[in-house]
């Protein structure tokens, strides 16, 4: 199979036939953002509140936390899909799908993609998630157990597949292109962006909405507490989910949805829309020790970052900001710091680094896409949020710029990294200087 494929299906964009191996990979640009998060539903609001140090963590109200030791999480207060999606039958969409469809609505509008455009340009959707909705899946099954299998709900069954939110979102918005759900743990959101970029570079798609979505629900809330990874779930210690914090003891769960519109550069130019950034490089990897061997975990992330920088044609010294996945995990944050330091070299001491999960919660499949949006808004505004929380960073971490307050960003190249506790890692380099409108 030829990697750089012909793309005869979309003559509308005026793309050249790229069947020749002489034609270089296409540039992937960002033309829209959509976000629904516990700290706001626009990149501007989210960025502003993070810079102000706002924290979304509060006692859970969405469901009964029963007698679980930890009751904190980052909900989206008062989320109503109606506010984003207007009229229409929302019943078939569970919370994950509603979050996804709402953020997708914002992203499509931001990129200037009308209903007609979506069909004509065969817009696709790449959705990163960990569960889809384990809440829906479990409720469907429990209904069968309690009332008998003849009484399960067909509507819930349709949503019991892990790709349900992607399917529902495509139906809601009329997105006929590639539709893929991507699962790689907490790196799913970044991985969805990397996967989408691959498809565009290789000529498989011209325009993709790519990102991630995850809901808070009782099942995952309980499940992760039982792993001991949740802050405060062991030894009755008070929760401390400050990324890189000296006293950190785990993460706290959050929820949200975040999408970027990724587009082939020539498609964006043909449409005459603003190019906000270039997705210049990406790479993924895996730590076969799954965190049991710190050297292996750090090396896995280091390789990803180095390869993403290489693909972007950038040195680490060019970086103006890093948005990483640290979430308060005692070992995970350490390995991410080590992987970053190994890849960045001298720049590890000078480039400002942020990690937002101490304020936004660990929103699993949405987390990586939220990191990307926070990074790109920071590049645009020249200001990177601090790492919120009162804890000072663990002494001896090999990163120089983990300040609690906002920092100036002086170069428009940014790096987003994710290191997931089940072994997956991903890194993406964005080039804000490729943008044309700011």
Partner 1 sequence: MQEPIVITGIGLVTPLGKGRELFWSRLLAGDSGISPVSSFDTSAYSVHLGGEVKDFRAREHVKNLEPESLGRASQMAIAAAYEALEDSGVDLGEIPRERSGVIMGTTSGEPQEVERFDDRYVAGDLRSVGREFMDRYPCHVIPAHMAAELGLAGFNLMIPAACAAGSYAVGQACEVLGSGRADVMLAGGADSFSRITYSGFARLGAIAQEKCQPFDRGRRGMIPGEGAAVLVLETRRRARQRGAHVYAEVAGYGLTCDAHHMTAAHPQGDGAARAMEQALDHSGIHAQEVGYISAHGTGTPTNDRLETLAACRVFGARAGGKPISSIKSMLGHTMGAASAIETAVCALVIEEGKIPPTINFEDPDPECDLDCVPNEARDQRVDVAMNNAYAFGGNNASLVLRRPAS
Task: Find the binding residues for partner 1 in span 207-246 (CB under 8 A).
Answer: 219-220, 222-224, 226-228
Question: Would you give the binding string for partner 1 spanning residues 112-151, x where CB under 8 A is met?
Answer: ------------xx----xxx-x--xx-xxx-xxx-xxx-
Q: Which is nearer to partner 1, 209 or 353 (CB)?
A: 209
Query: How far is residue 308's CA from residue 302's CA, in Å, rounded to a whole number?
Result: 10
Q: Which residues share a beta bridge with 125?
A: 179, 209
On whether the CB atoms of residues 58 and 40 are closer than 8 A, the answer is no
Applying CB under 8 A, the span of 43-51, 69-77, 178-186, 398-406 interacting with partner 1 comes to 178-186
Q: In 9-64, which residue ranges form alpha helices assigned H by DSSP? A: 43-51
Minimum distance from CB of 217 to partner 1 (Å)? 12
Q: Nearest distance from residue 339's CB to partner 1, in Å?
A: 13
By CB under 8 A, name the one of 66, 89, 235, 437 that touches partner 1: 66
Residues 6+ apart with CB under 8 A from 101: 81, 84, 85, 93, 165, 168, 169, 172, 173
C-alpha–C-alpha distance, residues 89 and 306, integer Å: 46
The verdict on 422 binding partner 1 (CB under 8 A) reads yes
For residues 73-102, which are near partner 1 according to CB under 8 A? 92
Least distance between partner 1 and beta carbon 193 (Å):
13
Is-contact 241 248, C-beta < 8 A?
yes
Among 96, 104, 168, 338, binds partner 1 (CB under 8 A): 168
**Which segment (27-35, 171-179, 257-265, 383-391) binds partner 1 by CB under 8 A?**
171-179
Q: Which is nearer to partner 1, 42 or 138 (CB)?
A: 138
Q: Which is nearer to partner 1, 190 or 399 (CB)?
A: 190
- CB 325 → partner 1: shortest distance, Å? 15
Distance CA 34, CA 169 (A): 13
Q: Do residues 303 and 345 make contact, with C-beta atoms less than 8 angstroms apart? A: no
Q: Which residues pair with 427 in a beta bridge?
A: 283, 417
Q: List b or e across 207-243, with b for residues whose CB sees 16 or more CB atoms inside 10 angstroms.
A: bbbbbbbbbbbbbbbeebbeeebbbbbeeeeebbbbb
Residue number with CB closer to partner 1 (175 or 257)? 175
Query: Considering CB under 8 A, how many residues would be counted as binding partner 1?
Result: 89
The DSSP secondary-structure symbol of 162 reads T
Least gap, CB of 257 to partner 1 (angstroms): 17
* Count of residues making up the chain: 438
Say if residues 189 and 278 touch (Cβ distance below 8 Å): no
Q: Least distance in Å: CB of 122 to partner 1? A: 8
Query: According to CB under 8 A, which one of 18, 249, 284, 418 is a site residue for partner 1?
Result: 284
CA atoms within 13 A on the CB side of 240: 17
109 or 171, CB closer to partner 1? Answer: 171
Q: Applying CB under 8 A, does 48 fall inside the site for partner 1? A: no
Tell me which residues in 295-314 interact with partner 1 (CB under 8 A).
296, 300, 303, 307
User: Minimal distance in Å, beta carbon 84 to partner 1?
Assistant: 18
Given the complex with partner 1, which of 107 and 402 has the nearer CB atom?
107
């Amino acid at each position: 199979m030829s990697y750089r494929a012909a793309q005869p299906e979309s003559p509308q964009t005026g793309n050249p036939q790229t069947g020749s191996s002489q034609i270089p990979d296409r540039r992937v640009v960002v033309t829209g953002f959509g976000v629904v998060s516990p700290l706001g539903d626009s990149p501007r609001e989210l960025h502003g509140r993070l810079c102000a140090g706002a924290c979304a963590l509060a006692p859970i109200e969405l469901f009964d936390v029963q007698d679980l030791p930890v009751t904190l999480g980052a909900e989206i207060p008062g989320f109503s899909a109606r506010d984003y999606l207007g009229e229409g039958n929302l019943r078939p969409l569970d919370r994950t799908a509603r979050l996804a469809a709402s953020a997708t609505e914002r992203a499509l509008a931001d990129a200037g993609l009308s209903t007609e455009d979506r069909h004509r340009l065969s817009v696709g959707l790449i959705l990163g998630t960990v569960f889809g909705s384990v809440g829906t899946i479990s409720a469907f099954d429990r209904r069968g157990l309690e009332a008998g299998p003849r009484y399960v709900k067909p509507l819930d069954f349709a949503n019991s597949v892990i790709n349900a939110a992607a399917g529902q979102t495509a139906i809601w918005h009329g997105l006929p292109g590639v539709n893929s759900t991507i699962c790689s743990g907490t790196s799913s959101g970044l991985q969805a962006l990397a996967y989408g970029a691959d498809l565009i570079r290789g000529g498989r798609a011209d325009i993709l909405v790519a990102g991630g979505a995850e809901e808070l629900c009782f099942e995952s809330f309980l499940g992760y507490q039982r792993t001991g990874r949740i802050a405060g779930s062991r030894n009755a210690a008070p929760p401390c989910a400050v990324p890189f914090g000296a006293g950190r003891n785990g993460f706290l769960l959050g929820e949200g949805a975040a999408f970027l519109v990724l587009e082939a550069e020539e498609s964006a130019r043909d449409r005459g829309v603003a190019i906000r950034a270039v997705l210049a490089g990406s790479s993924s990897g895996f730590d076969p020790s799954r965190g049991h061997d710190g050297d292996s975990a750090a090396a896995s992330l280091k390789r990803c970052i180095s390869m993403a920088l290489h693909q972007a044609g950038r040195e680490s010294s060019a970086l103006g900001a890093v948005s990483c996945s640290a979430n308060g995990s005692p070992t995970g944050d350490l390995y991410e710091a080590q992987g970053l330091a190994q890849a960045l070299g001298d720049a590890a001491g000078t480039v400002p680094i942020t990690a937002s999960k101490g304020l936004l919660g660990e929103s699993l499949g949405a987390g990586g896409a939220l990191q990307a949006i926070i990074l790109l808004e920071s590049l645009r505004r020249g200001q990177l949020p601090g790492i919120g929380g009162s804890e000072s960073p663990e002494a001896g971490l090999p990163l120089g710029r983990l300040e609690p307050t906002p920092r100036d960003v002086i170069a428009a190249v940014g790096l987003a990294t994710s290191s997931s506790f089940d072994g997956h890692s991903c890194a993406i380099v964005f080039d804000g200087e490729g943008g044309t409108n700011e």
